């Protein structure tokens, strides 16, 4: 009888627990890329978000996207995480005014469900590769196309041929590879293949309404709540199996970037990296010009280490780094060698050249701000001018050695006898003579060293 009561209690408890669990509903996880560059830090964050949503068996993961673009390698990692996810991924370009530019196109197309908020846009995914001559992918192809379109004279034929000769084979390779990649993504997700390819090949950008009408995305939603309402009941393919989304009355869980990711993301910005690099070089410059292991040297080394880490995730041109290093060496050499400003001028030229080519990217969001370069250029010029002035002053100043260093110093009379007496100066007691009588405690100034005595007044 007791066993029967126990079984009944277990059954009732199970029913109540099941009812409670169903009443709680499932969860939807949300990760956000808010007006940020797609870089290795962001790829790590999205991969973490996908895995966390999978572990917690979320109904789906929503990636709120607003990006101008970023690195192609990092984009591939994010797309790989999305397409190999064990749960549905929804990419939502939001809020209003946001964009899915460049790398954002691939991320949006890779989602099981692609959505956009009103007044957003998507496109301009033309890949950019900088070769040794600093030319971008498709740069010469575009030149050729324009020349062919406007060709009216024989002179234009010559210009077309010159442009073709200068074009790098690497341009076509990367462009074709990227086109094939975006085409495969669009085909897998049943999206508009032609428009996806045009976004890559011709840098086409469209609004949310144009993207919806051309079947590049699946829907338009005003906010996350509206998105959850609209995708409820949608059937998506995950790992070869069809799954129906149940997004009504779900718990929304925001996946915030870790403190580490936030810090590294800030440090990976070109302007921040440049500032750290400059502070590091200034610290070392001050340390070299003021010998001794001090605060400036320690801070300078720390700033340089952080800057070099950041440069690993940025399109760094190490020729620019080398030029900046040469500039610092020239500033230090100016103190040791009398060049009357020539080394300083060379240092300023190397500094500005290195700063301008430090990061190889035609995109503004991956470049150093010109105003920042100008500000540091002026600061560097002033520092170099100050060091030069001190060096010239040191060269022109008269070097005093031995007892000559006592001339001009003042001391107190410790013993007086008429116009003679003794003073204590520089740790020694000297006999002194004066034209006038001396008094004990009187302060006198050394005028001249005469043998073993001093002439004072």
99 and 232 share one domain: yes
Q: Is pLDDT of 392 > 80?
A: no
pLDDT given for residue 332 in this prediction:
74
Q: Are 236 and 88 a contacting pair, CB within 8 Å? A: yes
Residue 39 predicted with pLDDT over 90:
no
Tens of pLDDT along 407-419? 778 888 888 888 8
Query: 166 pLDDT exceeds 70?
Result: no
Determine the pLDDT at residue 149: 46
pLDDT at 170: 65
Pair 390, 358 in one domain: yes
Domain final residue, candidates 348, 373, 396: 396
Q: Report, as an integer, the average pLDDT of 172-184.
A: 87
Assessment of whether the complete model's pTM goes beyond 0.85: no
Tell whether 390 and 433 lie within a shared domain: no
CB 302 within 8 Å of CB 285 = no
444 pairs with which residues across the strands? 411
Same domain? 324 vs 283: yes
Rounded to an integer, what distance in angstroms lies between the CA atom of residue 123 and that of residue 108? 10
- Return the sign of the alpha-carbon dihedral for residues 205, 210, 212, 215: negative
- Among 156-165, 190-199, 387-396, the range with the most confident prediction by mean pLDDT is 190-199
CATH of the domain at 49: 3.90.226.10
Highest mean pLDDT among 162-171, 213-222, 376-385: 213-222
Length in residues, the chain: 457
Pairwise pLDDT comparison (107 vs 448), residue with the higher score? 107
Lowest mean pLDDT among 67-71, 166-170, 181-185, 406-410: 166-170
What is the rounded distance in angstroms from the CA atom of residue 334 to the CA atom of residue 397?
17
Digit-coded pLDDT (tens) for 419-430: 888 888 876 788
* Average pLDDT for 324-350: 77
Instruction: Rank 54-63, 278-287, 399-408 by mean pLDDT and report only the highest.
Output: 54-63
Element (H, E) at 346: helix 342-356
- Are residues 225 and 170 part of one domain? no
pLDDT at residue 364, as a whole number: 67
Domain span at residue 152? 128-200
Indicate if the pLDDT at residue 1 is higher than 70. no
Tens-digit pLDDT profile for residues 94-136: 999 999 988 999 999 999 999 999 999 999 877 764 333 333 3
Residues 88 and 207 in one domain: yes
Q: Does the pLDDT value for residue 2 go beyond 60? A: no
Task: Determine contact, residues 31/258, Cβ cutoff 8 Å.
Answer: no
Statement to judge: residues 26 and 74 lie in one domain: yes
Residues 95 and 222 in one domain: yes
* pLDDT at residue 433 greater than cutoff 50: yes
The total number of structural domains that make up the chain:
4
* Residue 124: predicted pLDDT: 85
Domain co-membership, 335 together with 373: yes
Q: Which whole number is the average pLDDT over 427-447?
A: 83
- As a whole number, mean pLDDT of residues 353-368 equals 76
Among 12-16, 152-156, 353-357, whose mean pLDDT is lowest?
A: 152-156
Residue 129 φ then ψ, to 5°: -130, 130
Asked whether residue 230 falls in the same domain as residue 280, the answer is no
The reported pLDDT for the residue numbered 443 is: 87
Listed in sequence order, the residues at least 6 apart from 204 whose beta carbon sits closer than 8 Å to its beta carbon are 123, 124, 195, 198
Query: pLDDT at position 260, please?
Result: 79
Angle at 84 between CA 78 and CA 88, to 5 degrees: 95
pLDDT at 11: 54
CATH of residue 419: 2.40.50.140
Q: Is the pLDDT of residue 264 over 90?
A: no
299 and 358 both lie in a single domain: yes
Residues 71 and 41 in one domain: yes
Mode of pairing for the β-strands spanning 60-66 and 27-34: parallel
Amino acid 81: pLDDT? 94
Q: What is the pLDDT of residue 91?
A: 96
Q: Do 58 and 87 touch, CB atoms closer than 8 A?
A: yes
């Amino acid at each position: 009888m007791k066993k029967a009561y126990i079984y009944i209690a277990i059954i009732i408890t199970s029913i109540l627990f099941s009812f409670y669990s169903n009443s709680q509903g499932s969860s939807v996880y949300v990760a956000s890329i808010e007006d940020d560059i797609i870089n290795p830090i962001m790829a790590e964050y999205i991969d973490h978000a996908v895995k966390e949503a999978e572990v917690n068996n979320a109904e789906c993961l929503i990636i709120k996207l607003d990006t101008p673009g970023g690195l192609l390698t990092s984009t591939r990692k994010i797309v790989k995480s999305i397409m190999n996810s064990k749960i549905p991924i929804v990419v939502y370009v939001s809020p209003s005014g946001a964009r899915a530019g460049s790398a954002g196109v691939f991320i949006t197309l890779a989602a099981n469900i692609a959505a956009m908020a009103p007044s957003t846009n998507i496109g301009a995914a033309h890949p950019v590769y900088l070769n040794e001559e600093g030319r971008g992918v498709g740069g010469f192809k575009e030149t050729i196309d324009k020349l062919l379109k406007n060709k009216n004279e024989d002179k234009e034929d010559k210009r077309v041929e010159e442009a073709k000769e200068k074009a790098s084979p690497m341009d076509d390779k990367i462009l074709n590879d990227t086109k094939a990649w975006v085409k495969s993504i669009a085909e897998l997700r049943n999206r508009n293949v032609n428009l996806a390819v045009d976004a890559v090949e011709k840098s086409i950008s469209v609004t949310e309404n144009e993207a919806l009408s051309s079947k590049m995305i699946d829907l338009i939603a005003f906010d996350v709540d509206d998105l959850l309402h609209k995708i409820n009941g949608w059937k998506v393919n995950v790992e070869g199996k069809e799954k129906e989304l149940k997004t009504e009355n779900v718990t929304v869980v925001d996946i915030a970037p870790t403190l580490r990711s936030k810090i590294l993301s800030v440090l990976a910005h070109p302007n921040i990296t440049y500032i750290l690099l400059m502070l590091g070089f200034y610290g070392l410059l001050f340390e070299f010009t003021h010998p001794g292991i001090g605060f400036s040297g320690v801070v300078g080394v720390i700033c340089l280490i952080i800057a070099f880490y950041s440069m690993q995730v940025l399109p760094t041109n190490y020729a620019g780094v080398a030029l900046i290093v040469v500039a610092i060496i020239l500033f230090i050499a100016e103190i040791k060698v009398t060049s009357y400003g020539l080394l300083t001028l060379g240092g300023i030229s190397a500094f500005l050249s290195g700063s301008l080519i430090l990061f190889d990217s035609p995109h503004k969001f991956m470049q150093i701000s010109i105003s920042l370069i100008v500000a540091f250029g002026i600061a560097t010029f002033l520092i170099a001018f100050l060091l030069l002035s001190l060096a010239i002053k040191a060269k022109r100043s008269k070097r005093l050695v031995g007892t000559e260093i006592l001339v001009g110093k003042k001391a107190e009379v410790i013993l007086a006898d008429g116009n003679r007496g003794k003073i204590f100066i520089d740790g020694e007691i000297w006999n002194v003579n004066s034209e006038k009588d001396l008094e004990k405690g009187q302060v006198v100034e050394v005028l001249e060293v005469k043998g073993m005595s001093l002439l004072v007044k």
